[in-house]
Chain A
Amino acid sequence: MLSEITLGQYFPGNSFVHRLDPRTKILATLIYIVAIFLADSPLAYGLLIAFAALVIGVSRLPVGMVLKSLKPIWIIIIITMLIHMFTAPGENIIFAWKFFKVTEEGLILGTKMALRLVLLLLFSSVLTFTTSPIVLTDGIEKLLRPFKCIGVPAHELAMMMTIALRFIPTLLEETDRIMKAQTARGADFSSGNLLERAKNMLPLLVPLFVSAFRRAEELAIAMESRCYRGGEGRTRMHELAYKGIDHTAFAAVLVLVFSLVALRWGAGLCAL
């Protein structure tokens, strides 16, 4: 039943991308997303696609699996494309029927937008595929630390995320167990109208809440008895440190950004 769901889509491995520092991966993903919006020529898009393909290749993830991450939002991609196709102003009409008209400009714009969405999604899914959720929160904490002086509770945020992530599988397992136990007692979670269904959920929700509160209390006691008192002056067992491969990765992303900048404004700069 529910235990078959894979959460946080981490795919274990030991590739170049897997071994990168989580901060490198987060920053590189952010830079890549910005870079997507720098592109305005077919060559620039080609460059972006090639870079994404290179990263997916180096990460040694099954390509089919990465493409599958598009599945939940492909409908949004299609709608975006259609809206742009039909509404963008332009002269060169390719196809017209009543007040619908598809222009060449619209077609190009729609394709561009869809391509941007696809690239954005593929690239960020590589981040979640190659980084375990716990490591990811470590990276976020470290990245947010400089903002502490303006009141961002970096450690607390990261701790909450870690705990939430840690307990998702546990709670899912618990839900699965309680569901099975109540099914064995003849409970029915899938038929009846909305109101009946909501009422039928009670035998599942009440035990689930009871156990979630119990776990929260146990965890709080366990943390306090190990002298946890927030992030002040706390050191880590595994300090994050940039290594050679991180520099390589940053260099690659920067080369990409400079090429895109050069493609977009290069002609103008030369003219100066």
Chain B
Amino acid sequence: MSIKLANVFYTYMTGTPFERQALNDVSLTIAKGEILAIIGHTGSGKSTLVQHLNGLIKPLRGKVTINDIDIAGRGSEAKAARQQVGMVFQYPEHQIFAETVYDDIAFGPRNRGFSAEEVDKQVREAMSFVGLDFETFAERSPFQLSGGQMRRVAIAGVVAMNPDYLVLDEPSAGLDPRSRNAVFKEIMALHKERGIAIVLVTHSMEEAAKYAHRMIVINKGKILFDGKPADIFSNHKDELIAVGMDEPPIYKLSVTLRAKGLEIAAGITDVGELVKNIKKVKGWR
């Protein structure tokens, strides 16, 4: 059970003076149930890459398969495979259109052909996952909600399709720190309870370090590194800086503290863990 990209190439505007290569021989396997962060700076090809995962963009060369089914096909099998991948775009609140929150969230599941009861169940579950109270919000117009609430409605609209893989393109962009943490908490809860694989596109090293099991660094359409976030930070610091990325601040601080002689564990990327380590080393309570 996995999504596989095999030697995928993609070029925008082929045959015009504006031609631009976005993906250059990308091969990648995304296993069911993992949390993968894809990072890279603007224009590195990360958004193009994730749009291949559910067939929104078809590779110019190469193949994308989900559970060994080629998703480029027109048949119902390929369509069903594509629908296993839920996609939350950047600023997903801009895709809201329905008159009520309920109808907007129900759009995806209805298109998947779920029965009315199944739709209702999925909508309720999705709303509770993103922390929107059903009684309060279901019948309200989504256009009267706050930015953070609209984003939750949009994410719920994808979650309600009950995907096996959930791709989120910068889900925290433009949110205040509290909503940002809340959105990630909800995503992690979803991962835990339903075992959905999460693909997180971000340019924040901090988010990647905090949430992902595995990290891919992409630059100029090529995969530069693939591995555990902490390993990549400690082994490839200079290359990361060279491609415009930087280690997360907490990691930097822990490295500095270690260099100054504080004997804390290597590769800490989380505030809580750092505090715990310092307390332990210093013998504080």
- Residues of chain A having any CB pair with chain B under 8 Å: 3-4, 6, 11-12, 174, 177-178, 180-188, 202-207, 210-211
CA distance A76 to B161 in the complex (A): 49
Q: A4-B12, A177-B89, A178-B94 are in contact. Are A185 and B111 (CB under 8 A)?
A: yes
Q: Are B51 and A180 in contact (CB under 8 A)?
A: yes
| Closest 9 pairs between A and B when the two form their complex, measured CB to CB | A186-B111, A206-B97, A185-B108, A184-B87, A181-B95, A203-B97, A180-B56, A181-B89, A207-B97
Q: B92 — which chain A residues lie within 8 A by C-beta? A: 181
Which one of A11, A177, A181, A211 has the greatest number of beta carbons of chain B within 10 Å?
Answer: A181
Q: Are A183 and B56 in contact (CB under 8 A)?
A: yes
Q: Are A12 and B17 in contact (CB under 8 A)?
A: yes
**Known pairs A187-B107, A206-B97 / 7 extra A-B pairs, C-beta < 8 Å:** A177-B94, A183-B56, A184-B54, A184-B89, A186-B107, A188-B111, A207-B97
Q: A11 — which chain B residues lie within 8 A by C-beta? A: 17
Q: A180 — which chain B residues lie within 8 A by C-beta? A: 51, 56, 87, 89
Closest A-chain residue to B82, C-beta based?
A184
Which one of B17, B18, B98 has the greatest number of beta carbons of chain A within 10 Å?
Answer: B17
CA distance A203 to B106 in the complex (A): 12
Is B158 in the interface zone, CB < 8 Å from A? yes
Closest B-chain residue to A183, C-beta based?
B56
- CB contacts under 8 Å to A, within B23-69, are 51, 54, 56
Q: Chain A nearest CB: distance from B15 CB in Å? A: 10
Q: Are B157 and A185 in contact (CB under 8 A)?
A: yes
Which residue of B17, B98, B161 contacts A186 across the interface (Cβ within 8 Å)? B161
Q: A206 — which chain B residues lie within 8 A by C-beta? A: 97
11 interchain pairs, CB-CB under 8 A: A6-B13, A178-B94, A180-B87, A184-B86, A184-B89, A184-B158, A185-B108, A186-B110, A187-B111, A203-B97, A210-B143
Q: A181-B92, A184-B54, A186-B161 are in contact. Are A6 and B16 (CB under 8 A)?
A: yes
CA distance A205 to B89 in the complex (A): 18
CA distance A3 to B158 in the complex (A): 24
Count of B interface residues, CB-CB < 8 Å: 28
Is B243 in the interface zone, CB < 8 Å from A? no
CA distance A210 to B56 in the complex (A): 23
Is B83 in the interface zone, CB < 8 Å from A? yes
- Cβ proximity bits B68-109 to A, threshold 8 Å, 1 near / 0 not: 000000000000000101110100101111100000000110
CA distance A157 to B17 in the complex (A): 31
Q: A207 — which chain B residues lie within 8 A by C-beta? A: 94-97
CA distance A3 to B97 in the complex (A): 22
Q: Chain B nearest CB: distance from A13 CB in Å? A: 9
Is B112 in the interface zone, CB < 8 Å from A? yes
Q: A177-B89, A180-B51 are in contact. Are A202 and B97 (CB under 8 A)?
A: yes
Q: Are B161 and A185 in contact (CB under 8 A)?
A: yes
Q: Are B112 and A186 in contact (CB under 8 A)?
A: yes
Closest B-chain residue to A178, C-beta based?
B95
Q: Are B107 and A203 in contact (CB under 8 A)?
A: yes
Q: Are A4 and B13 in contact (CB under 8 A)?
A: yes
Q: A181 — which chain B residues lie within 8 A by C-beta? A: 87, 89, 92, 95
CA distance A204 to B107 in the complex (A): 13
Q: A12 — which chain B residues lie within 8 A by C-beta? A: 17
- CB contacts under 8 Å to A, within B140-183, are 143, 157-158, 161
Closest B-chain residue to A6, C-beta based?
B16
CA distance A184 to B55 in the complex (A): 9
Closest A-chain residue to B83, C-beta based?
A186
Q: B12 — which chain A residues lie within 8 A by C-beta? A: 3-4
Q: B86 — which chain A residues lie within 8 A by C-beta? A: 184
Q: Chain B nearest CB: distance from A6 CB in Å? A: 6
